[in-house]
A and B are shown apart, each in its own frame.
Chain A
Amino acid sequence: MKLVVENLTVKLQSREILRDVTFKVESGEVVSLLGPNGSGKSTMLRTIFGILKPIKGVVLYDGKALNSISEASKVFGYLPQENPEIGLKVLDVVLLGRTPYLSGIKRAKKKDIEIALKALEDVGLKGFENRKFNELSGGEKQKVMIARVFAQEPKVMLLDEPTAHLDISAQIEILEIVRRKVRDGCSALIAMHDINLASSFSDKILMIKNGKIVYAGTPDEVISEETIRDVYDAEVIVKRHGSRVYVIPKRKTSENGVRVHIICGGGSGRDLIYMLSDRGYKISAGVLNVLDSDWETVVEVGGEVVSEAPFTEISDESHAKNLEMIEKADFVVLTNLSIGKGNLKNLYAAKYASKLRKLIVIEKTSFKSRNFVGVEAEKIYDEVVRGSIVVGSEKDAIRILDRERYANN
């Protein structure tokens, strides 16, 4: 029981919209089509359903080609992109999904009404049957349309951007509803715009560019900075959490020419690094152990790092380099980091910066609770604080940096 698409080529007004598209969708799979506007996603769905005729290639379900739209509508539940503005009752809209099963004079029988009501219940709109369609919210309308697809009892759902124009909770709900249906024994091919939603709800992703499938596979196989640059021509950061993938746009900020050195570690600098980098500050940090989460963040935003091998104490050599960086920097920030034997030298570095009058200290929790060295560190910290500006949050630190920066300009 699977959908097979082979060598599909579609021309519209002598322009090739799809070129040699081949893939398959197995039963129980959610497959997403990703690609920029005009890449051929809608054309693909319309051709599979049979509204457009390919000049080459075949669409087979269960090994058979479907020759007419009325045949196709029993196998495929196709949902076009735009919703109509109509005053029909919700039940009437959902009942239209029974059209393929009615013949002669079309009248809904008891069984059809039961199926339609069940479909409404499945999308969470029990009791909505007598409401008017055009009086519903965007999310509810979309759910009604999904219920129409369900009433069709499809084997494969072909959904064209079912989450467009919806808020995030409605988007998630719609995709949850679709997933649940797929679990009950059908499959779905969904054209999507949101890469993050696609990768968290799909089993497979097909990326289309100019009518060709250029990448195909599981979300973590397919989604990467390179593929997105290739398909969408966009610069993003791709983060992986287990098998999940998150895409974050890279902000194009112009550099403001101000250097900030950050003394951090263990994730205490992460938010600050992102915030500063977004604002165009040139960032350096140190000393950080390689693979420390702050180390990864600095590398990600393209800052300079004074590094130390994982799980080793800061060497004199690194410490010296760190001091050099501090000298070069316009400002230095000491984050709310914990101090142990391994990074005690960073506290000395902070003291150096405080002497140079360029230190801002972020103190969210008392130093005592973060000090794992003892009295020695306590004393140094007191000296550090004396020569610097102490703030309670990253935002305050940035406010001061911005203010100083404007003052200097």
Chain B
Amino acid sequence: MTAAPLLTLRNLRVTFPGPHGDVAAVRNVSFTLGRERLGIVGESGSGKSTTGRAIMGLVPPPGRFTADEMRLGDTDLRGLSERGFRRLRGRRIAMVLQDPKYALNPVMSVGRQIAETHRAHMRAGARAARRAALDMLAAVRIRDPERVYELYPHQVSGGMGQRAMIAMMLIADPDILIADEPTSALDATVQTQVLAILDELVRGRGMGLILVSHNLHLISAFCDRVLVMYAGRVVETCEAGQLHHARHPYTRGLLAALPELGRRRELLPQLQRDPAWAADAG
């Protein structure tokens, strides 16, 4: 990659105070993100969602994060105040969550929320904002933007709500999008459509995308590079297409434990957890 990376992380650590001392949810995670699609895959408790949230400064107190290096372009994210992060959110980093029901305001129409986001970042007038919102709805392949603009979140289907959320998050033209399980709540066919839209938008705008998911197959099919996380650490990095050549026993164990259409086995090989995987690298 000749261009400078959009995001650089070195030894990110996120800790939460616990009854017996600090608990590290994320331990020494390092990676760079360019104009590519990076997938972070892991099971619950692996720290994948916390990593995404730390990048946006959304670690809930009393959790804290530290890093040797944490840069978004030229901006140093370490020690950034809440106000500093707020300036970045939406404008330079955006996040799409799993369930649009929780991210969309239920008493405001979908289109208006998108327009408000635009106005908040771009200081545009009401009409210009509405225009921008309609354009964005069309960009996420919603066929009747004028009609959908007026709908309320409870009136749109899951897939459309998710597309509306993507529209809302991308309208301020951020450099990076973090998508945390964006399609897990959707049906398989809708999932494919939404991912196609994400793909098109991310490529078209030259953005970087971090896709966080528990779904190995999805990540390996959709992303360029994959990070596998376990117990807060990155245990494996590889090119997406090379996932079946994965070397770490955890990744191999996960792949083997997945039921596969076409490969009938009486019993699935169960993952044997090796405590060495969770050991601190240093």
Answer yes or no: do A and B interact.
no
Chain A residues packing against B (C-beta within 8 Å): none
